[in-house]
């Protein structure tokens, strides 16, 4: 397994499904109705790097609440234009579901367009943003600028391996490095790292006319500070990157607690789930499939570690082929990213978590 930084993982995550679906506009946005008064603003190419987080738009009687703010100023301006066509109500609140920049680097545009807008997050997220300030943005730019050699090496490896479908993956990565990376860097050079103005610990309840909006910390998931936004009357939940479609992220540093947190999420009364990326999910089947996948990894890693295998031995022993078919089908590109961005990192982090616990 190649070692990649989390930043590169997120930047390269997921290909466009077909060449016909591609667009030259990296910052294109579409809006679709999810439920009455609830809309999803999303990138038409949700699998194109760099990834762009979903923005959930909750239109209330007098205001609008947003779940996340997208990953760039250009995308945010597109969303704002769509918002103004939807409703005259101002955006009063933005909820950060987690710390990742692809869910909050559009915030500065909302601050300009809607003076007085509040931003709410878990207290730890506010502390991180307030403590890092613009240094975080500068460091991000430097990391992206330094990643081209890694990308070139990965494309060369794929060409040399010559697996079926690898040419599609290479073309996908080449578009990022030869076209999209410059647009991304141009966006990031103008980013303001906006600090939340409100925080909550376990629960915050918003009352917006007839609508109730609950902000919940159910436990650590994709990140240590994931926030779930739950609309009980609408039976809708926004899960952030705790649940991502079509291929889940496997980067959680606390995979066993992630599974527990997903269990608590599944106990909420909802029939619609908006993931941090990808398509809206109806019912709870996708969450249950994700839980089964994580549980299988933990069972197999525990068995391998118990047999005295090292990390590489455990990697060779873990078999997720059934789940790979379930999540990626026969698409060689999705299969590649299932291994690269779920199974390989999740097996490693599960193994390290087990070893850390055993050493206590």
Sheet holding 228-231, edge to edge: 203-208, 211-216, 228-231, 236-240, 272-275, 281-282
Q: Which helix (H) or strand (E) holds 341?
A: none
CA distance 16 to 276: 17
Q: Structural domain boundaries of the chain?
A: 6-129+192-358
Report strand pairing: 203-208 vs 198-199: unpaired
Cα within 13 Å of Cα(192), Cβ side: 9
CA distance 187 to 116: 24
Superfamily of the domain at 6-129+192-358: Ribonuclease Z/Hydroxyacylglutathione hydrolase-like (3.60.15.10)
Q: Return mean pLDDT, the chain.
A: 90
Q: Are 188 and 140 in contact, with CB atoms under 8 Å apart?
A: yes
Q: What is the pLDDT along the chain (360 residues), one digit of tens a residue?
A: 333 434 334 343 333 333 333 446 889 999 999 999 999 999 887 777 788 999 999 999 999 999 999 999 999 999 999 999 999 999 999 999 999 999 999 999 999 999 999 999 999 999 999 999 889 999 999 998 888 788 888 888 989 988 888 888 888 888 888 888 889 999 999 999 999 999 999 999 999 999 999 999 999 999 999 999 999 999 999 999 999 999 999 999 999 999 999 999 999 999 999 999 999 999 999 999 999 999 999 999 999 999 999 999 999 999 999 999 999 998 888 888 899 889 999 999 999 999 998 875
Main-chain phi, psi angles of 193, to 5 degrees: -80, 90
What pLDDT score was predicted for residue 6?
A: 40
Radius of gyration of the chain measured on its C-alpha atoms:
20
Helix, strand and coil in the chain, % to nearest 5: 45, 15, 35
CA distance 275 to 278: 6
What pLDDT score was predicted for residue 21?
A: 38
Q: Which helix (H) or strand (E) holds 94?
A: strand 91-95
CA distance 298 to 353: 10
Burial of 207 (0-12, 13-18, 19+ CB in 10 A): exposed
Query: For the packed helices 166-175 and 148-161, what is the interaxial angle rounded to 10 degrees?
Result: 160
What pLDDT score was predicted for residue 153?
A: 87
CA distance 68 to 53: 8
């Amino acid at each position: 397994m190649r070692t990649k930084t989390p930043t590169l993982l997120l930047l390269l995550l997921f290909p466009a499904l077909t060449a016909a679906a591609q667009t030259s506009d990296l910052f294109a946005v579409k809006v679709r109705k999810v439920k009455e008064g609830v809309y999803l603003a999303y990138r038409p190419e949700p699998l194109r790097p760099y990834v762009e987080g979903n923005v959930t738009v909750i239109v209330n009687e007098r205001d609008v609440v947003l779940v996340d703010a997208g990953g760039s100023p250009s995308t945010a301006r597109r969303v704002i234009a769509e918002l103004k066509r939807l409703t005259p109500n101002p955006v009063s609140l933005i909820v950060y579901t987690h710390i990742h920049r692809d869910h909050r680097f559009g915030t500065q545009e909302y601050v300009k367009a809607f003076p007085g807008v509040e931003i709410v997050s878990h207290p730890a997220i506010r502390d991180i943003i307030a403590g890092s300030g613009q240094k975080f943005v500068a460091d991000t730019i430097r990391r992206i600028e330094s990643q081209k050699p890694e990308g070139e090496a990965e494309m060369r490896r794929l060409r040399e391996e010559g697996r079926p479908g690898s040419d599609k993956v290479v073309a996908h990565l080449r578009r990022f490095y030869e076209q999209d990376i410059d647009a991304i860097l141009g966006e990031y050079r103008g980013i303001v790292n906006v600090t939340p103005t409100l925080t909550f610990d376990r629960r915050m309840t918003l009352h917006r006319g007839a609508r109730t909006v609950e902000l919940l910390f159910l436990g650590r998931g994709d990140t240590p500070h994931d926030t779930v936004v739950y609309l009980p009357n609408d039976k809708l939940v926004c899960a952030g990157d705790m649940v991502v479609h079509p291929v889940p992220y496997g980067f959680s540093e606390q995979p066993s607690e992630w599974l527990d947190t997903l269990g608590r999420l599944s106990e909420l009364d909802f029939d619609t789930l908006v993931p941090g990326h990808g398509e809206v999910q109806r019912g709870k089947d996708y969450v249950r499939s994700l839980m089964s996948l994580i549980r299988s990894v933990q069972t197999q890693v525990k068995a391998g570690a118990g047999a005295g295998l090292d990390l590489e031995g455990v990697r060779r022993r873990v078999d997720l082929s059934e789940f790979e078919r379930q999540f990626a089908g026969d698409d060689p590109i999705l299969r590649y990213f299932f291994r690269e961005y779920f199974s390989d990192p999740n097996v490693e982090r599960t193994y390290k978590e087990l070893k850390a616990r055993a050493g206590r």
